[in-house]
Amino acid sequence: MGRESVLARVRQALGRRPEPAPVPPPLATSLSTPKSDSAPQVLAELFAKNLESLAGKCVAVKEISQVAPLVASLLAGKTGVASNAAFLGECGITGLPNVQSGFTDREALRAACATADAGITSADYALADTGTLVMLSSQEEARLISLLPPSHIAVFPRARLLSGLDELLEKLPLPADQSSAMVLITGPSRTADIEQILVRGVHGPGEVQAIIVG
C-alpha cells in the first residue's frame, strides 16, 4: 500500500477532509500599452483635457524660450520656489527675479516653501489618460516644493508624456530602486471629508498648472 493510500485512510479515520490540491503559481503579469511616441500631440491634448476636468490648468508652448515669460506672467509678481531640476534652468525659470532656487539645506528649503506663493517643478513623467504628474523624489526634485506652497507649476518636455500607468510601470517596474518616493499628482488637492463639501487646497496645493514644452 502506497504512502498516499495510507495517509488517506488515516485522514478518513480521523474524519478529516482530503488535502486540497496545491495552488498553481500565478501567471506572469503582462502589460499591453499603446506606444506613447506614435501620437505625441494626441497625448498632450488628452493630458490637458483630463487635467482641466479636475480644475487644473494646462498650457502647451512650442519653444523653450517661451517658458520663462509664461511663468513670470503666471506668478504675476508673486514669489516662487523652483526645484533644482536641470530643465527649469534650461527654461530660464531659475533666473526670474522673484524665484528662489538652488537649495541644498532642507530647513532653508522648508522655510522658503512655507512662505512662497508657488512651487515650480519639472515632472519625471506625465500620464495622459488621467492628467497625472509623476514625481520621483530626489535632490533635484524635492517633494516639498510640489506639496507645501498653495500653487504648483509643473514644467516638462512633451517627450515625458506617457499613455498611462501601465506604460509608466513598464518603464519603471521597480520605482523604489530609483527613488525613496514616487508621487502621483492628479489635479489640485481636494477633500470632502467634512459634510461631503468639496474643499480644495487642504492637503496640498489648491492650484495646479502644467506647462508642456515642445
Q: What is the pLDDT of residues 172-200, one digit of tens each?
A: 998 889 898 999 999 886 665 666 665 55
pLDDT band at 3 (very low <50, low <70, confident <90, very high): confident
Rounded Cα gap, residues 166 and 52, in angstroms: 22
pLDDT band at 29 (very low <50, low <70, confident <90, very high): low
- The dihedral region occupied by 122, where left means phi > 0, alpha psi between -120 and 50, and beta the remainder, is beta
Per-residue pLDDT reduced to its tens digit, 30-66: 656 555 555 778 999 999 999 999 999 999 999 999 9
How far is residue 118's CA from residue 82's CA, in Å, rounded to a whole number? 9
Amino acid 65: pLDDT: 96
Confidence of residue 12 (pLDDT cuts 50, 70, 90): confident
- At 199 the pLDDT is 56
Model pTM score:
0.79
203-204-209 Cα angle (round to 5):
145
CA distances from 157 to 42, 87, 89, 107, 124 (A): 15, 8, 13, 30, 10
* Domains of the chain listed by start with CATH number: 39-213 (3.40.50.10420)
Q: Output the furthest CA–CA distance in the chain (Å, rounded).
A: 90
- Supply 213's cell numbers: 514644452
Q: Output DSSP code: residue 48.
A: H
**C-alpha distance across the termini of the chain, in Å:** 77
Q: What span, in angstroms and rounded, lies between the C-alpha atoms of 88 and 139?
A: 14
Question: For residues 47 and 58, what is the distance between their CA atoms, to the nearest angstrom?
Answer: 8
Q: Is 211 exposed, middle or buried (0-12, 13-18, 19+ CB in 10 A)?
A: buried
